[in-house]
Structure 1
Amino acid sequence: MTTPAVPTVTLDNGVAIPQLGFGVFQIPDDETTAAVTTALEAGYRSIDTAAIYGNEAGVGRALAASGLPREELFVTTKLWNADQGYDATLRAFDASLAALGLDHVDLYLIHWPAPARDLYPDSWRAIARLTAEGRVRAAGVSNFQPAHLRRLIDGSGLVPAVNQIELHPGLQQSELRAFHAAHGIATEAWSPLAQGAVLDDAVVTAIAARTGKSPAQVVLRWHLQLGTIVIPKSVTPSRIRENLDVFDFALTDADLSALSTTDRSLRTGPDPDTFN
């Protein structure tokens, strides 16, 4: 199979991120190396992990063994809630970098706003420093709501390059995506398939039947045509390859219109306003 050319999204600071990457949420560390190796062999170049996943070392082993030049890889990791605060963020970043075996990451995210802790503005100052030092190429957040984003922008002047949010046809987040668009923030989708919960929607299965693609491929194609950065996760080699095979077809305007009606406020993860 020839490696598909994955389009990139240029972030507000000029850094380019592959629009389709590989997520490693809930993959045990000892299985992560094999999964990431399969993904890299299939053609993925963007890998998304997090400190709380406990598998940064497994990602690092796969990156080191791949023989791929560092500049061809895009590596994202995330700051966990318990490590928020200025000094704690700097220490947590050093620990993540050591686990990954890298001298910089391409994107570093505050994993959750954890509003009751009220430390995310301090963490953001630390990430701004890491970015100025060149140890982080792009600074971003995950699961931030408009009020959280506005506070960071007003308080620091540094606009998050990315907000990684739960996003899929069952939870379309149109108000948040509009805020992103107005402020030059790229939208990245975690749980892009709602852990499978949207794959048997009638609209999705009808489009899959017509196009000869799987329901998962239809949903990933929807994300791409929205302009979203998307990071599907799988440990199954055939599924890892299938998720990347979404560049040889397109959804019609009628398909997109039909999919816009499938929003049902379906959260598979926590509510960012209350999760601490």
Structure 2
Amino acid sequence: MWTIVIIFDRIGPPKPVYNSAFQAEPTLDEALPKAAPFFVLLWGGWGAMFFVYPGIAPFSLLRPKDCQGILYTAMYIQAFIGASMFPLKKWGKLDQLWEGPSTTTLLPLSKIGLQDIKLSKKLYYLFLVLFVPYLMIALSFINAMHYPAGFIGRALYMKKPPVYILTCIYYTSGCLMMNVAWNAVYANMTGDKGHNDDARKLIMTILGVGLLVTLVFSKLISEGYLRAFRAAKIAVESGLPWPTAKMGPISAFFYWIGRGFSGGFRVFLDMFATDVRKKLLV
């Protein structure tokens, strides 16, 4: 992902001209505060996507043979949303700088940071509309996996239609939210090619490295968490108690977070050892 970001920045289409309060290209001090909301949105969005899809939904909620259709649909959704960025840029003005609060279109930001995004009601509510189902559906998937006999579990666990629909909604809202944020990165934080190049390189490096680290960590933690969860299910079938049976919700939450980190570290060691072993054998 870092390589893609840098290549796109170097040889991609020209970036929009950034007009700061001083009618100049952004300095590092101007650009980084504007970066923060979009960094969080991109890192958190992709991290949540890799954590939930496809390990938890659909593979932990349905039989493997029922998951293939969801995977194909998700690929089509991603392609469609990628193509939709052109009309959104052209007619939704996503490639222009964003501004609020009195405008009805997405125009330049006039101040620094998250406050302007909140003031721009149209944009702020767009993020909420995308983020609320994104977060709630992810929590519902995890709840159904842990408590298949509960209210949410009975509605989702091993039920192909609702899992299919919710996974597609989750994937659609997540991809669209992150593509909107990606446009915001280029529209609000970078200047024209050749201007303040050092500051722009540093910003793109922070974005790329942060995204890379987030994806790797979320994937490892998700894999470690799922391994611990599946091992606990096998232990229960053998007659052992559920590990969080006597814990409250908060304690159980941190227990599984801990299992995810410790299991993710073991997954990383296994992957590292496997790669080294292959290279030595070759």
Give me the TM-score of the superposition, normalised by structure 2.
0.26
Structure having greater relative contact order (Cα 8 Å, sep ≥ 6) = 2
Higher share in strand:
1
Larger Cα Rg: Structure 1 or Structure 2?
2
From the two aligned structures, give the one with the greater helix fraction.
2
